[in-house]
Every structure is written in C-alpha cells, then in structure tokens.
Amino acid sequence: MPTLFSIVKYCNKLLNIYAIEDAEGAYNGLQFQNSGKISKIAMAVDASLETIEKAAAIGANLLVVHHGLFWSQTVPITENIYKKYKLLMDHDIAVYSCHLPLDAHMEIGNNACIAKLLELETPVPAFEYHDVKIGIIGIRLIERHRLKMILEATFPHVIAMEFGPKNLEQIGIISGGSGSLIIQAKNYGTHTLIIGDCQQYHYNIIRENNINVYVCGHYATETFGVEALGKAIAQKFSIPFEFIHTSCPL
C-alpha cells in the first residue's frame, strides 16, 4: 500500500508545482495530512463540503482537487470550514490540491485533455497569466458549426459568441476563469477560443476583435485534469480512484 508522502512526492514532481506562480492565497501541494495510509483516492474539482462528504462516503482517504481549501490568507475555522476539517479528520482523509500547474500541464492538464478530445494537432502553450502560459493553441481544419456541435455534445452548457471566421484552423483553449485572457488571442493570431467563463464586458471585446468564443463552463472545463491525474496516480501506485461529480452549472 502506498504512503501519502510517496504519492505527494510523485504528484509534486509530475506537476512541477514549485515552478508556477499561482493566484494569491492559493496553495499547491499537500494541504491536509492524514495518518499516511492511502487505499483509495477521490478526485474532484473543488474541496467543497459536498465533495468531502462524498469522498468519506466512498471510503477514500485522499482527496485530490483543482480548487483547494485555501484562497485567502486567514479565516476562522468555524461553521462550514469547521465541518470540512472535522470530516477530514474523522475519516482520515488527506487533501492534495493543484491549481494553475494542472491547467498548464501539457499532458494531463485541463487544456491538454480538451485539446486531445478535440483532436487538435501540434498543441503549444499560450495565454500568459503571472508570466506563465496556462492555455493551449492547436491546429484543426474544421467548420465553425461543426466545432460548436462537438462542444455541445461534450459540455452540459455552451454559450457561443461567433464573430470570427466560419472556417477554422487555429483554436485556443483556456479552462476555468479565463475571460481576462481573451484579449491575448489577437497576439497569437487566433480567432477562435474555447474558455471556461467570462464576464459581461468581455462580450464587447469578443465582438470588436472578431473572435469566436465558446464558453463551456468553469467547472465543466476543469473536470478533465483532476481525472487524468487520478488515472496517473492509480496506474503508478496500483490503487483505485473515483472521480466525484457535482451538479455545479457554472
């Protein structure tokens, strides 16, 4: 049976977590320790009360997530935060989190997995955040309406804003909260983006810069990386894993 710290060491190296500056308050790596025994892994997008409860219910003792427990400097351990910590301790569950390094990873990252699903050729890193390229641009000759059909078959909700070319070649992918990076599309010469979410004012940027943008959901675009990481850990250490889905529509 693998130990917690052997899995953490493997993940840290695989994801190169110390090489990427993350959002302020985020913490990549082991966030919550358990007794060290790992027999089953649960994977989820968020370290929410819901996913911790579900991890406990399936007997997992390691929860690997994209959005971890920490997003601000100091908070009191009360109410729902207390409930999370108590559940983790009562069920001997450790928490490992990887945020931007999992977006940026060129093999098991969120964007890389979506690029593979869409059969994009020659994917390369693109779209800088904190001086790190966290997105991907790849090539596929496809008509715009066909791409939209594939996305609608893949994601629960797709918002299409189509102001770019009808015949596509270069396609950019930025999972999660990616609206602020839309403006970088013109720097890369791409006019089609698949993103997680954006805000209302981004509509005018999209329209005025003649870009096709497909908003596929912050949550939905970030399920791919943690599941791919879970498969990698399970294969490396010969232990079972289970992806925990939630009904988050955003």
DSSP 105-145: -TTTSHHHHHHHHTT-EEEEEEEEETTEEEEEEEEEEEEHH
3-state DSSP percent of the chain in helix, strand and coil, to 5 = 40, 30, 35
Q: Is residue 52 part of a domain?
A: yes
Question: Same structural domain for residues 110 and 153?
Answer: yes
pLDDT score recorded for residue 70: 87
pTM of the model: 0.93
Question: Same structural domain for residues 115 and 36?
Answer: no
CA distance 79 to 86: 11
Tell me if 174 sits within 8 A of 111, measured CB to CB: yes
pLDDT tens digits, residue range 7-44?
999 999 999 998 888 877 789 999 999 999 999 999 99
- What CATH number does the domain containing 76 carry? 3.40.1390.30
Q: Is residue 248 part of a domain?
A: no
Backbone dihedral angles phi then psi of residue 26, each to the nearest 5 degrees = -75, 155
Q: Which residues contact 177 (CB under 8 A, 6 or more apart)?
A: 196, 197, 218
Question: Same structural domain for residues 114 and 215?
Answer: yes
Question: Same structural domain for residues 173 and 202?
Answer: yes
CA distance 166 to 144: 5
Q: Which DSSP symbol is given to 166?
A: S
Question: Same structural domain for residues 140 and 211?
Answer: yes
Range of the domain at 14: 4-99+223-243
pLDDT score recorded for residue 143: 97
Question: Same structural domain for residues 47 and 127?
Answer: no
Residue whose C-alpha is closest to residue 248's, from 86, 85, 22, 51: 51
Query: In total, how many domains does the chain have?
Result: 2
Q: Is residue 250 part of a domain?
A: no
Question: Same structural domain for residues 154 and 198?
Answer: yes
Q: Which residues contact 246 (CB under 8 A, 6 or more apart)?
A: 44, 45, 46, 48, 50, 51, 219
pLDDT score recorded for residue 237: 96
pLDDT tens digits, residue range 64-86?
999 999 887 778 888 999 999 99
pLDDT score recorded for residue 96: 97
CA distance 131 to 145: 34
Q: Which residues of the chain, if any, have pLDDT below 50?
A: none
115 burial via Cβ count (<10 Å: 0-12, 13-18, 19+): buried
Question: Same structural domain for residues 42 and 82?
Answer: yes
Residue whose C-alpha is closest to residue 89's, from 34, 7, 8: 34
pLDDT score recorded for residue 230: 92
